[in-house]
Amino acid sequence: MTRGQGDKPPRGSHDRPRSALNLRLALAVLGILICVPLGVTAWVTGFTAVAVILWVLALIGVLDIAVVLWRRRQRGPGHRSLFE
């Protein structure tokens, strides 16, 4: 399969790979959405240690979202879309 003259080159290359920030953002949000309700359920049912571990994981997810948003801001204009 060959590219035509009007086709764009691939977005990622060996020297400049595509960023995984969007994947990190999606996984952090998913982790928060899973860990917080499970932590509350564990707390209510009496599994305090499991609840604390799940809440710590949710906190790590919040911190990861902050880092991803900060790194996306550092990339400059033109990189704001989640679907790059």
Domain of residue 70, residue span: 39-75
Residue 27 lies in a domain: no
Number of domain units in the chain: 1
| Residue with token string 């009007």 | 6
pTM: predicted TM-score of the whole model, two decimal places: 0.71
Q: Could you tell me if 68 and 24 are in contact, meaning their C-beta atoms sit under 8 angstroms apart?
A: yes
Residue 4, pLDDT > 60, answer no
Asked if the structure places residue 24 within a domain, the reply is no
Evaluate whether residue 62 is within a structural domain.
yes
Per-residue pLDDT tens over the stretch 8-66 = 555 666 666 666 788 888 999 999 999 999 999 999 999 999 999 999 999 999 999 99
Residue from 71, 79, 38, 84 nearest 57 by CA: 38
| 8 within some domain | no
- pLDDT of 16 reads 61
Band of the pLDDT at 73, cuts 50, 70, 90?
confident
Looking at residue 27, what is its pLDDT?
A: 93
Could you tell me if residue 22 is inside a domain?
no
In a domain, 1, yes or no: no
Cα–Cα separations (whole angstroms), residue 33 to 9, 14, 41: 37, 34, 13
